Structure 1
Amino acid sequence: MTNINLKGFMIRKGRAATPQSLKAADGQKRNHAGGFVYVISDLERVKRFLILGSDTGFYASGAQLTKDNAKAVIRVAESAQHRELVDVIVETSVAGRAPKQDPALFALAIAASFGEVEDRAYALAQLPKVARTATALFGFLTYVQGFRGWGRALARAVAAWYTEKSVDQVAYQAVKYRQRDGWTHRDVFRKAHPRLVEPGFTGLGEWILRGDAGEAPGIVQGFEAARFASASELPGLIREHGLTWEMVPTEALNDREVWEALLEGNVPLGALIRQLPRLTRIGVLEPMSEATEMIAARLVDVEALRKARIHPLNVLVALRTYAQGHSMEGKSTWEPNPRIVDALDEAFYRSFGTVEPAGKRTLIALDVSGSMTFTRVAGVPLTPREASAGLALVLAATEPMTHVVAFTGGVQVYRPPGARRVRPVGRSGAAAALTQLAITPRMRLDAAIQEVSDLPFGPTDCSLPMLYAAERGLEVDTFVVITDNETWAGAMHPHQALAKYRAEMGIDAKLIVLATLASKFSIADPNDAGMLDISGFDAAVPALVTEFSRGL
């Protein structure tokens, strides 16, 4: 990495400049860190929440963020935007744009509980699109009971979740996803009373309600047989009935022959990614083996990644965990197969889909402050700092002309002359600065994360990318800032710095803010058509960035 020398930088006299600790425009409010930023609309905040969830932040607790986001969802649900809210929930879920389903299920539960009767009915009608598995259905029921009772509309919608499927589809769900959050299928049947009239449903209903599998579909009988089968009998039952790993006794999942039988079937790609450490540990993924090559090919299949809705962050977690050779708790170990490590690295890029580059000059700035290391991203075991490094790598690989910097601090990092060490209450005395990062498209993902891991913390001044580019005479079409928007440092607001850059360079540059926290704040001016605020870890980010850069 290279320290960036900003010597000679001065804000010209007469140019509008307001310290970020002071209000610079109507619509700005003080964020949790003490700086003044813009406030996004409730619907835009809901979009952030659907992608990012509400993990604890450095300046705000997870409980408070969840409460605030819930209030935002309720306000939209009670407004004329109710159906737009539901459509956003469905689109985000169906497209696999979020790493976790819980925010979408939570928001749909609110949409099914607030607003006009017809609007609530519209939300309930979308339940099968968002709750595509029984475990998701159970999660929805847990949330919705916190907002409403079991009226006829809810009971009909839940019943339809079962009756609109074939008997084999319901049997598969009933065996694979047996319980969650205290819910079982028997509990749901007794609440919703689905009328299962298709031939074969009677036997399935008997098993769900009374445990009698005598007339149940084959997969149920296979599951019951597997519960009491010996290790040598299990592979045959798996092949005969198409059992998945969730239907096999836990103690048998460390048996190599059991997994070889499971892999002959269609192990869902998401489950396969999660099971890579186990498969390596028990000897299925031996170097140069047929299984290794088959699984590596599945991991990099773009269409398979899309159909399975594999989110890039989940691939990133899998890669980091698998490559380190031990679980997060250290309870299990394995020797990583280099072929699988390479495949996961490639899968991370491919999980974003195919993106046509805009061909624009792009400067990417990463917030690596303390607040970006305090929390997790969207419920996965990654810090925003780590995830943003991976995202920067993807953007650098998408656009041929990129320059990557990080907001840092400390005496060894160059900063604008005259930038004093400020020490607000509860803050360190480091001055805001930038550090150039050696992130290039040829860099491995783990190397990019390491590149940002040891940088010195400092206050984040989001105006610096534009000021630095102007000072250096760098021609930039699009500035991309990845931040939690909890910024406060700097003698000029980011929107003022962008206006300054445009005026001095004669370039109608754009600013894209990728938010890493589901708060209501943004440094982007909503009244400037050349600024865009989006959820930072949306699977559609590369496409959204290139489209906005092209002016679409």
Structure 2
Amino acid sequence: MADREDEEDMEVEFLTIREGTCSTDQRDPISKQQVQNAVDRFVFPSLASDLEEELVRFLRLGHSTNAYSSGSRDLNTMDADCVLELIRNEKGPRAVEIIKEFSEVHQAYKQDYIIYALAICCRSSDPNTKRAGYGILSDVCKIPTHLFKFVDFCQKISKEQSKLKESGWGRAHRKAISNWYIKYADEEKHLTLMAYHLTKYRRREGWTHRDVIRKAHLKIDKDFPKFVNNRLYPALKYLVMVAVKGKKFADANEFTIEQKRLEGFESSVLAKVMNYIEQVDEARRYDPEDVAGIRGLILRHKLAREQIPTLFLKHKEVWNALLRHMPMTAMFRNLGKMSVLECLTEDSFEKQLVLSKIQNEELIVSSSIHPMTFMVALNQYKEGKSANGKRKWPVLESVMNALRGGLHISLKCIPPTDKRILLAFGASQSMTKKCIGVPSLSALEASAFMIMIMAKRERACETLVFTSNECQPLTVEADDNENDIVNRLMSFGSSETTDGSMPIKYARSNRKYFDAFVIITDSDTTSGNVHPSEAFKTYCETVKSKGERRPRLVVCDMISPSVTIGDPTDLNTLNISGFDHNVPRIINDFIRGDS
């Protein structure tokens, strides 16, 4: 939150304001790219340089412009046209280099964008691009979920490009997929990991390991003859047999029987992976009534929920065992289920374990648990029922308080920008609708959460509420939670009309300099004699900025997925559609100049 001294420092000397430089009414277009919104005012389509810069933006945001869409969406080659253009310009290998760099430094907000760009390169008809793309498959796709998504993307791209029902399983594709599995055998510990992956990630994106391995025609003996003498070869071959034909076949296979007869088998890698597969398979053979037995198996081998037969997941004792080694995010997703089964009763050890994990600062910070993860968990838990209403649970105040406490601790995972920010909320009636990307929250609730994060994290952040003709200050106290801010926003009332240029006009008329404007809106601006994008442009021209960088504008549209009041062609403007756990980090990076 901004201190008084910070507010006074915001006032700066302006250049002479050129009157009349931003006089186009919002009922008239200022660009051929503009379209009309739901109330017949002109705005920009939310999507609109250099090809490598476009690729970087696509890998980071999912669009080649400064635009981000929350939630999931179907990608197509038009979204990543910059990749195709680089390939056409004989720069495909360079595109692959950029993709690998992004994957290594974890700069993408969603892994899907990196995998999709890689799939385009691998589906290319340019041999150099294809060779380079397949060469980094294991670097980009580190777990089966990523591999299955890559396979699915490749198949869809092949069909899209050929307009036929071709799957695209050519020789290069089959060899690359085979190599992905072979790479598990580069270290002993990776084979143990492979056993875990085969039993946990059984099916993703409609694919199974059996499907993928059979499509790839993986034959270790034939395709990788030099590998046969490797000491890790027996374990890899066994795991491939388990994936394709099942444990029963693999155990009875002559190769496995011969390996078990060899001296030193008991201490071999094969023996270790066979034992692990046996334990997971044992869980599938347990008598449905032997809950104590399955509980002991989970505790001994730290089995995950996905490795346990569904019929056992209705028992409290099973969830109590799973909870001991359950990751934080998985624990959040299953709070309701565990509450239904009365795992979190007032005096239970399990409840104390959950509370201690939720409020463990070292665990939260080291795991980079995002505040949005806490926010979604908090809202889902406090409802006391599942989305379909079939599952209901008692809401414990102690758990609610722990989630709020963990949320505030997690704010440390988002460093401040150390910039001067004007954060403005448009008090529109439509803000009571569901928020894009987070259907469990209304646009108002999501906005309150964003305001809480930024106002508490930033040292110089001024907050206000705007309508069609005025801006009013919004106070955010240090101990406010999301409900306090929701109530405060509601106290301002709501307006049928808003003017998205009002926050920028406020800054100009009060002679204040901000490094960034963050405008939370529905983009259905219905009044005002100047377009917000035009007002921002004029502000940038008339304010004497510190240094060479212009101020930046972030438009967060919580309701409208296809239009925005921000200019998508302006690299100093970021357009965001909806809200999810990536949005605060995206805004943070953009304001700091990291994107």
Query: If the length of structure 2 is used for normalisation, what is the TM-score?
Result: 0.72
CA pair 202-511 structure 1, distance change in 2 beyond 3 A: closer
Q: 1:372 to 1:199 in 2, by over 3 A?
A: farther
Is the 2:60–2:113 Cα contact (8 Å) retained in structure 1? Answer: no
2:516 matched to 1:478? yes
Q: Is the 8 A contact 2:344 2:350 kept in 1?
A: yes
Distance 2:369 2:131 in 1: 30
Deviations 1:226-260 (A, max 9, x none): 11212121012112333111111222223222223
1:236 is the counterpart of 2:296: yes
Change (3 A) 1:389 1:153: farther
TM-score normalized by the length of structure 1: 0.76
| Aligned residue number for residue 423 of structure 1 | none
Q: CA offsets per residue over residues 2-36 of structure 1, 9 Å max, x none?
A: xxxxxxxxx995444222343446xx611452524
Q: 1:18 aligns with which of 9, 13, 24?
A: 24
Question: 1:186, CA displacement in angstroms?
Answer: 0.9
Q: Secondary structure of 2:385's partner?
A: coil
Q: CA deviation at 1:150?
A: 0.9
Letter in 2 for 1:273: F
**1:4 — aligned with what?**
none
Provide, for residues 398-423 of structure 1, a one-character-per-residue CA deviation record: whole Å limited to 9, x for no partner: 11332323454xxxxxx43xxxxxxx
Q: Which residue of 1 aligns with 2:154?
A: 144
Distance 2:91 2:419 in 1: 35
Quickly say closer, same or farther: Cα 1:194–1:67, change in 2 above 3 A.
closer
Match of 1:412 in 2: none
When Rg is computed on C-alpha atoms for both structures, the one with the higher figure is 2
In terms of mean alpha carbon deviation, does 476-485 or 68-77 score higher?
68-77
Whichever residue aligns with residue 333 of structure 2, its letter is R
Partner of 1:430 in structure 2? none
Closer, same or farther: CA 78–153 of 1 in aligned 2, 3 Å: same
Contact conserved, 1:326 with 1:332, CA < 8 A, in 2? yes
Matched, 1:174 2:198: yes
Worse overlay, 84-93 or 243-252: 84-93
* CA–CA separation in structure 2 for the residues paired with 1:76 and 1:380: 37
Aligned position for 2:574:
533
Q: How does 1:461-500 map to 2 (within 5 A)?
A: 461-474=499-512, 476-483=514-521, 489-498=527-536, 500=538
Relative to structure 1, the CA distance from residue 297 to residue 75 in structure 2 (aligned partners, 3 Å threshold; closer, same or farther) is farther
Does 2:72 match 1:48?
no
* Separation (CA, whole Å) in 1 of partners of 2:563 and 2:85: 14
Q: Which moved more, 1:376-385 or 1:462-471?
A: 376-385
CA distance in 2, matches of 1:295, 1:259: 12
CA deviations on 1:289-312 (whole Å, 9 max, x unpaired) are: 443343334335566456656554
Moved more, 268-277 or 213-222: 213-222
Report the counterpart of residue 5 of structure 1 in structure 2.
none
SS in 1 for 2:79: helix
5+ long unaligned stretches in structure 2: 1-16, 159-167, 185-189, 221-227, 257-272
Q: Which residue of 1 aligns with 2:277?
A: 220
Report the alpha carbon displacement of residue 527 of structure 1 after superposing the two structures with TM: 5.8
Q: Secondary structure at the match of 2:276?
A: helix
Unaligned runs of 5+ in 1: 1-10, 57-61, 409-414, 417-432
Instruction: Indicate whether 1:193 and 2:200 are aligned.
Output: no
Give 1:112 shift: 2.8
Equivalent residues in 2 for 1:238-277, closer than 5 Å: 238-264=298-324, 266-277=325-336
Q: Distance in 2 between matches of 1:488 and 1:115?
A: 49
- The count of aligned residue pairs is 506
1: CA distance, partners of 2:90 / 2:124: 12
Residues 465-491 of structure 1, C-alpha deviations (whole Å, 9 max, x = no match): 011233345554432224576757531
Between the aligned partners of 1:80 and 1:310, the Cα distance in structure 2 is 41
Is the contact made by 1:46 and 1:73 (CA closer than 8 Å) also made in structure 2?
A: no
Give the drift of 1:352. 5.8
Any conservation in 1 of the 2:332–2:377 contact (CA below 8 Å)?
yes
Distance 1:368 1:115 in 2: 52
CA displacement at 1:356 relative to structure 2: 4.5
Alignment of 1:347-496 (within 5 A): 347-351=406-410, 353-367=412-426, 369=428, 377-378=436-437, 381-382=440-441, 385-408=444-467, 415-416=468-469, 434=471, 436-449=473-486, 456=494, 458-474=496-512, 476-483=514-521, 489-496=527-534
Distance change >3 Å, CA 441–CA 76, structure 1 → 2: farther
Residue matched to 2:42: 35
Report deviation, 1:185: 1.0
Residue equivalent to 2:340:
281
Match of 1:59 in 2: none
Q: Using a 3 Å threshold, how does the CA distance of structure 1 residues 358 and 136 change in structure 2: closer, same or farther?
A: closer
Match 1:184 to one of 208, 217, 228: 208
* Cα root mean square deviation, aligned: 4.0
Shift of 1:211: 1.7
Counterpart contact for 2:421–2:518, Cα < 8 Å: yes
The structure that is helix-richer by fraction is 2
Matches within 5 A, 1:502-541: 510-516=551-557, 523-524=566-567, 531-533=572-574, 535=576, 537-538=582-583, 540-541=585-586
Q: Distance in 2 between matches of 1:95 and 1:67?
A: 23
For residues 92 and 120 of structure 1, the distance between their equivalents in structure 2, rounded to whole angstroms, comes to 18
Cα–Cα, structure 1 residues 446 and 195, in superposed 2: closer, same or farther, change >3 Å? Answer: farther
Matches within 5 A, 1:79-228: 83-84=94-95, 87=98, 91=102, 95=106, 98=109, 101-114=111-124, 116-148=126-158, 149-165=168-184, 166-194=190-218, 198-213=233-248, 214=251, 217-228=274-285
Following the alignment from structure 1 to structure 2, what is the Cα–Cα distance between the partners of residues 12 and 24? Answer: 18
Structure 1 residue 320, shift from structure 2 partner: 0.8
Aligned 8 A contact 2:99 2:118 in 1 = no
